[in-house]
């Protein structure tokens, strides 16, 4: 029997101007571990989007609004208070995330939620450290710049790290003084709704954070809305392109955190056991539904056999299991649709002639209908195969081989994406030389995947543009105004 949830799931309403309201239609959010409905969620249409944008506009535009008249220090304290409330309710938040997404409670409780809280605190502290500058121009002028909030931010979030990625956007947006209309992913709206309640409890003024649940149409309506000044999007590259096109008419500011097919490169002179662990977690952590998953593993030919034997052995011991069980390390794929997509890539790998070394099958956990998949490893992959080029977004690893640094730099870069990369070697010169050559927003050396609220994250190439986390995010949530005064 799968663990029963302790959380009471209330029907999801929309948060507009500080009030929870119904929409004219609803959709269902499912538990991927059972395939069963978790609850009804309001499906925001154009009328609700209009109202949410109007509320965010009023909270931003009215110079007398509580938000506009609030000092940076007070804004920071509000963000900190939200973080405290998240910490108070961390068990509930973690459980909701696991129920909705299928990720192990171990990950929600000990990785996603602590980092989400930390991100809120990082931006709470940053609120008072957003500066303009005085500029030396002419002796007859006093010239300076102001960093001002952009206005109303439309934040559109995917299902893989629902609350964590919400904080990546709302933390800096609010710290900089913007107001927000948030659209969570239709597969995983529960933690965003709980977050909305915590924002209210913390005392965030009405209209500063509005939450509109719904699917692609709700997102598209936000992107096209003339009342939105900036879209902060995380999701797939194909939707990112559509968002850029749809945002063009109103010339909205856009930041895009998109897909990846990140190379994880192992040299023979690395600590192989650490590299095996890094390769394993790089693809199977988060069920591989991770934008920066190390989904292309490059092994130096001389260690390929030894490495793969260890990796495959480890993968065969990893069994998908009940996500609410604290011992589980591989949960359920987020949806039936995503399971089908991942299975179609496994079929493609087989038909293109790659060698299936581990996994490849859907499995039943406790006799149920959840969307569980074995950890899957392909060997004998060449860089032109579909499974080496396209983002699978599941626990499926493509392994390739190389002979030297030049060759692997070229192979690693021959892909449309450029989100992240890993390098495993004990040769310092080689590590840094390759780090410079890889076209990736983040390069990890002798580790794979760590993140910090202070460290910028984002993509090169078709993995998007703009940076989230760290102080650089401020550039994407402010406008720079030049003020020129004759003396």
Calpha distance 191→39 (Å, rounded): 13
Give the whole-angstrom CA distance, residue 257 versus residue 458.
Answer: 6
d(CA 171, CA 24): 30
Considering the complex, state which of residue 321 and residue 339 has its C-beta at the smaller distance from ligand NAD: 339
The smaller minimum CB distance to ligand NAD, of residues 193 and 299, is found at 193
To the query of whether residue 87 is one of the catalytic residues in this protein, the response is: no
Strand partners, 155: 182, 232
* Among 259, 379, 418, 422, contact with ligand NAD (rule: CB under 6 A): 259
- Using CB under 6 A, which of 185, 190, 211, 315 touches ligand NAD? 185
Q: How far is the CB of 300 from ligand NAD (least distance, A)?
A: 27
The string of DSSP letters for 44-96 reads --HHHHHHHHHHHHHHHH-TTSTTTTS-HHHHHHHHHHHHHHHHHTHHHHHHH
Residue 389 engages ligand NAD in binding (rule: CB under 6 A): no
What are the two backbone dihedrals, phi and then psi, of residue 394, each rounded to the nearest 5 degrees? -165, 180
- Residue 243 CA to residue 230 CA, distance in Å, equals 11
Both tokens assigned to 405: 């640094």
What residue number has its CB nearest to ligand NAD? 219
Residue 177 or 219: the one with the smaller Cβ distance to ligand NAD is: 219
Please, are residues 412 and 405 in contact by the beta-carbon 8 Å criterion?
no
Binds ligand NAD by CB under 6 A, chosen from 53, 56, 419, 473: 419
| Cβ proximity of 433 and 95 under 8 Å | no
Let me know: does 60 contact 148? Beta carbons within 8 Å. no
Min dist CB 482 to ligand NAD, Å, is 32
Residue 291 sits in the site that holds ligand NAD (CB under 6 A):
yes
Strand-pairing partners, residue 356, are 378
Active-site annotation holds for 199 = no
Nearer to ligand NAD, 103 or 304 (CB): 103
3-state SS, residue 465: strand
Among 243, 321, 342, 398, interactor with ligand NAD by CB under 6 A: 243
CA distance 293 to 269: 23
- 238 vs 426 by CB, closer to ligand NAD: 238
* Distance between CA atoms of residues 390 and 462, nearest Å: 12
Cβ 257 to ligand NAD, closest distance in Å? 3
Tokens of 293: 């998953």
258 near ligand NAD, rule: CB under 6 A: yes
**Cα dihedral sign for 235, 90, 48, 56?**
negative
173 binds ligand NAD (CB under 6 A): no
Phi/psi at 138 (5° precision): -120, 155
Q: Which segment (58-66, 76-84, 442-450, 459-467) binds ligand NAD by CB under 6 A?
A: 459-467
| Residue closer to ligand NAD (CB basis): 32 or 177 | 32
Smallest separation (angstroms) from ligand NAD to the CB of 440: 11
Interface with ligand NAD, residue 100, by CB under 6 A:
no
- Per-residue binding string, ligand NAD, 104-143, x by CB under 6 A, is ----------------------------------------
Reading the block at residue 224, the tokens are: 């096209």
The CA distance from 213 to 190, in Å, is: 10
Catalytic, out of 48, 107, 257, 468: 257
- Does the footprint of ligand NAD cover residue 239 (CB under 6 A)? yes
Q: How far is the CB of 459 from ligand NAD (least distance, A)?
A: 6
CA distance 445 to 139: 49
Residue pair 199/82 in contact (Cβ under 8 Å)? The answer is yes
Q: How far is the CB of 41 from ligand NAD (least distance, A)?
A: 12
Residue 113 CB burial class (10 angstroms; 0-12, 13-18, ≥19): buried
Catalytic one among 48, 97, 289, 291?
A: 291
Size of site (CB under 6 A) for ligand NAD: 30
- The residues in 189-218 that bind ligand NAD, with binding defined as CB under 6 A, are 215-216
Stretch that binds ligand NAD, among 66-74, 81-89, 219-227, 406-414 (CB under 6 A): 219-227
Backbone angles phi, psi at 269, to 5 degrees: -90, 20
Q: Is residue 159 within the footprint of ligand NAD (CB under 6 A)?
A: yes
CB of 298 to ligand NAD, least distance (A): 20
The residue ranges that bind ligand NAD (CB under 6 A) are 156-160, 183, 185-186, 215-216, 219-220, 223, 234-236, 239, 242-243, 257-260, 291, 391, 393, 419, 459, 463-464
């Amino acid at each position: 029997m799968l663990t029963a949830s302790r959380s009471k799931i209330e029907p999801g309403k929309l948060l507009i101007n500080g009030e929870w309201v119904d929409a004219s239609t609803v959709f269902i959010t499912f538990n991927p571990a059972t395939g069963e409905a978790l609850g009804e969620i309001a499906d925001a249409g154009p009328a609700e989007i209009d109202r949410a944008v109007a509320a965010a506009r009023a909270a931003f535009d009215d110079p007398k609004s509580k938000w506009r008249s609030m000092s940076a220090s007070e804004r920071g304290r509000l963000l900190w208070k939200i973080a405290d409330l998240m910490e108070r309710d961390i068990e509930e938040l973690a459980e909701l995330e696991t129920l909705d997404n299928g990720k192990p409670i171990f990950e929600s409780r000990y990785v996603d939620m602590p980092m989400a809280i930390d991100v809120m605190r990082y931006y709470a502290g940053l609120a008072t450290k957003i500066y303009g500058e005085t500029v030396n121009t002419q002796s007859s002028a006093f010239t300076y710049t102001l960093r001002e909030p952009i206005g109303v931010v439309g934040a559109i979030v995917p299902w893989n790290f629902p609350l964590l990625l919400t904080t990546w956007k709302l933390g800096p947006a609010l710290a900089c003084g913007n107001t927000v209309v948030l659209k969570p992913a239709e597969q995983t709206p529960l933690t965003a709704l709980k977050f909305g309640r915590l924002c209210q409890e913390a005392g965030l003024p009405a209209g500063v954070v509005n939450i509109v649940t719904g699917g692609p149409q709700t997102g598209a309506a936000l992107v096209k809305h003339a009342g939105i000044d900036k879209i902060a999007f995380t999701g797939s590259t194909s939707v990112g392109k559509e968002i850029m096109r749809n945002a063009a008419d109103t010339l909205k500011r856009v930041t895009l955190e998109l897909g990846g097919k990140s190379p994880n490169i192992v040299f023979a002179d690395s600590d192989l056991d650490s590299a095996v662990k890094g390769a394993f977690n790089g693809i199977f952590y988060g069920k591989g539904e991770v934008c920066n998953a190390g989904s292309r593993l490059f092994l130096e030919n001389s260690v390929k056999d030894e490495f793969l034997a260890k990796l495959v052995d480890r993968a065969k011991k990893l069994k998908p299991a009940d996500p609410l069980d604290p011992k589980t390390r591989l949960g359920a794929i987020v949806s039936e649709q995503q399971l089908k997509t991942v299975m179609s890539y496994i079929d493609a790998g087989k038909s293109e002639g790659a060698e299936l070394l581990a996994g490849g099958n859907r499995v039943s956990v406790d006799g149920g209908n959840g969307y569980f998949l074995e950890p899957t490893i392909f060997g004998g992959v060449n860089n032109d195969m579909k499974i080496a080029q396209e983002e699978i977004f599941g626990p499926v690893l493509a392994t390739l081989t190389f002979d030297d640094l030049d060759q692997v730099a070229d192979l690693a870069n021959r892909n449309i994406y450029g989100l992240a990369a890993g390098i495993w070697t004990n040769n310092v010169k080689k590590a840094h030389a390759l780090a410079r050559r890889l076209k990736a927003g983040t390069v990890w050396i002798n580790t794979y995947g760590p993140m910090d609220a202070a460290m910028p994250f984002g993509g090169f190439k078709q993995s998007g543009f703009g940076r989230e986390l760290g102080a650089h995010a401020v550039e994407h949530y402010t406008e720079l105004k030049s003020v020129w005064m004759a003396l």
